[in-house]
Amino acid sequence: MNILGRFSTSSILGFRFNWSFSSLFQSRKKRLERQHQRHSCYFLGTIKIQSNSTFLDGVITDISKSGLRFRPAKTYILDRRGDQVMCIFSDFRLNGKIVSVGGNGYGITIHEEIEGDNFEGILALNEKSNISSIRSSI
SS3 75: coil
Distances in whole angstroms, Cα of residue 115 to Cα of each of 9, 35, 88, 122? 47, 14, 17, 11
Question: pTM of the entire structure?
Answer: 0.66
pLDDT, position 33: 66
pLDDT, position 2: 47
Distances in whole angstroms, Cα of residue 42 to Cα of each of 45, 63, 129? 9, 10, 10
Spatial distance between the Cα atoms of 130 and 70, rounded to a whole number of angstroms = 16
Spatial distance between the Cα atoms of 106 and 67, rounded to a whole number of angstroms = 10
Which residues, 6 or more positions from 12, have their beta carbon under 8 angstroms from its beta carbon? none
Full pLDDT tens readout for the chain, 138 residues: 445 444 445 445 555 555 555 555 555 544 456 677 888 888 889 999 999 999 999 999 999 999 999 999 988 888 999 999 999 988 889 999 999 999 899 999 999 998 888 888 888 774 344 444 444 455
Portions of the chain given CATH number 2.40.10.220: 39-136
pLDDT, position 18: 52
pLDDT, position 22: 52
Question: Do 134 and 60 meet the contact criterion of CB atoms below 8 Å apart?
Answer: no
Spatial distance between the Cα atoms of 112 and 67, rounded to a whole number of angstroms = 9
Over 20-74, what HEC string results?
CHHHHHHHHHHHHCCCCCCEEEEEEEEEEECCCCEEEEEEEEEEECCEEEEEECC
CATH superfamily of 39-136: predicted glycosyltransferase like domains (2.40.10.220)
